[in-house]
C-alpha cells in the first residue's frame, strides 16, 4: 500500500534522511525503530507532506504523493497520529472526533466502531480533551485519525508517557486494525516506536534507523535473532 524509496531530506543544509526506503502493506504492522534524533519523526512528517523532501519516491495505493499537500494525503486515506498527540484540548471528545472527519461531507457520522475500540471515549464524549488523562488523550488521537476510515494508519511513538495498561490496550487495537480495519478490510499500519518490547510484540516487519539511514530491516520474527534491541537501546 505504501512505498517509500530513496527518500532524502535536509534541514538548513543538514542531511537528515539519507536514502530511506521501506514499505507498509495491508494486514501488517511495519515498525520503525531507532534512538532519539535518527530521523524517525522527520520521516513521518515527510510522508505526510509537513516537511519538503529533496528527492525520492512516496507512493500510496498506486499514486505518487510527492507533490500532494497534507490534506490531499489525508483525503487519499492516510491517518496520522503525531508525537505528543496534539488533540484540541478545548474541544470535547466528540468534537475532536468530528475534526477527524474534516475530509468527509458534513453529514458523515462518527463511526460507532471507534467507541467499541475505545469504550472510554463513549463515556467521556462530552468532556473536553484537555481534561483527559495522557492515556485517554492518546486513545482519542488514534480514534480521531481513524474517523475517516483510512487505509494506512501512521503513528509516532504512541506509547510515550502512557501507563502500561493503556499501552496493552493500544497494542490490542492495532493488531485488530491490521487484520480487520474498521470495516472488516485489513489496514496497513506504520508505527514509529522506541519501546522495543511493544514494537517486537506487534511487528510484522521492522526497520531500524541510525543517523538518517536504514541499517537493518526484516520480518518481525527476525528481530530477536538480529539483536535489534542493542541497535535501538537508549
206: exposed, middle or buried (C-beta count within 10 Å: 0-12, 13-18, 19+)?
A: buried
Residue 221 confidence class, pLDDT cut points 50, 70, 90: confident
Would the pLDDT of 213 be above 60? yes
| Cell triple for 89 | 484540548
CATH number reported for the structural domain that contains residue 105 in this entry: 3.40.50.300
Would the pLDDT of 234 be above 60? no
Q: What is the predicted pLDDT for the residue at 226?
A: 66
Average pLDDT of span 173-187: 96
Lookup result for grid cell 494486514: 27
Tens of pLDDT along 95-121?
Answer: 999 999 998 888 899 999 999 999 999
For the chain, how many residues are written? 234
Would the pLDDT of 124 be above 90? yes
Q: What is the predicted pLDDT for the residue at 223?
A: 83
Residue range of the domain that includes 114: 2-232
Lookup result for grid cell 491490521: 178
Whether the Cβ atoms of residue 216 and residue 231 lie closer than 8 Å to each other: yes
Average pLDDT of span 170-184: 96
Q: How many domains does the chain have?
A: 1
**Three-state secondary structure readout of 156-220:** ECCCCCCCHHHHHHHHHHHHHHHHHCCCCCCCEEEEEECCHHHHHHHCCEEEEEECCEEEEEEEH
State the chain's mean pLDDT as an integer: 94
Tens of pLDDT along 10-33?
Answer: 988 899 999 999 999 999 999 999
Q: CB neighbours of 62 closer than 8 A, spacing ≥ 6?
A: none
Average pLDDT of span 40-67: 96
Buried b (16+ CB within 10 A) or exposed e, 15-47: ebbbebebbbbbebbbbbbbeeebbbbbbbbbb
Q: What is the predicted pLDDT for the residue at 233?
A: 63
Bridge partner residues of 213 (DSSP): 210
Bridge partner residues of 8 (DSSP): 18, 55
Amino acid at each position: 500500500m505504501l512505498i517509500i524509496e530513496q527518500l532524502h531530506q535536509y534541514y538548513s543544509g543538514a542531511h537528515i534522511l539519507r536514502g530511506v526506503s521501506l514499505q507498509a502493506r495491508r494486514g501488517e504492522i511495519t515498525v520503525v525503530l531507532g534512538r532519539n534524533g535518527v530521523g524517525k519523526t522527520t520521516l513521518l512528517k515527510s510522508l505526510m507532506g509537513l516537511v519538503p523532501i529533496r528527492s525520492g519516491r512516496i507512493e500510496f495505493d498506486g499514486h505518487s504523493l510527492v507533490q500532494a499537500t497534507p490534506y490531499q494525503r489525508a483525503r487519499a486515506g492516510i491517518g496520522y497520529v503525531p508525537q505528543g498527540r496534539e488533540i484540541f484540548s478545548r474541544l470535547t471528545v466528540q468534537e475532536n472526533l468530528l475534526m477527524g472527519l474534516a475530509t468527509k461531507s458534513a453529514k458523515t457520522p462518527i463511526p460507532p466502531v471507534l467507541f467499541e475500540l475505545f469504550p472510554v471515549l463513549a463515556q467521556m464524549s462530552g468532556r473536553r480533551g484537555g481534561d483527559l488523562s495522557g492515556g485517554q488523550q492518546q486513545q482519542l488521537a488514534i480514534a480521531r485519525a481513524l474517523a475517516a476510515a483510512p487505509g494506512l494508519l501512521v503513528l509516532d511513538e504512541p506509547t510515550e508517557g502512557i501507563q502500561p495498561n493503556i499501552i496493552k490496550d493500544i497494542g490490542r487495537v492495532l493488531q485488530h486494525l491490521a487484520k480487520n480495519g474498521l470495516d472488516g478490510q485489513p489496514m496497513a499500519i506504520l508505527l514509529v516506536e522506541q519501546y522495543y518490547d511493544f514494537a517486537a510484540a506487534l511487528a510484522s516487519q521492522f526497520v531500524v534507523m541510525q543517523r538518517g539511514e536504514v541499517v537493518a530491516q526484516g520480518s518481525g520474527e527476525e528481530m530477536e535473532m538480529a539483536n535489534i534491541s542493542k541497535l535501538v537501546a537508549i
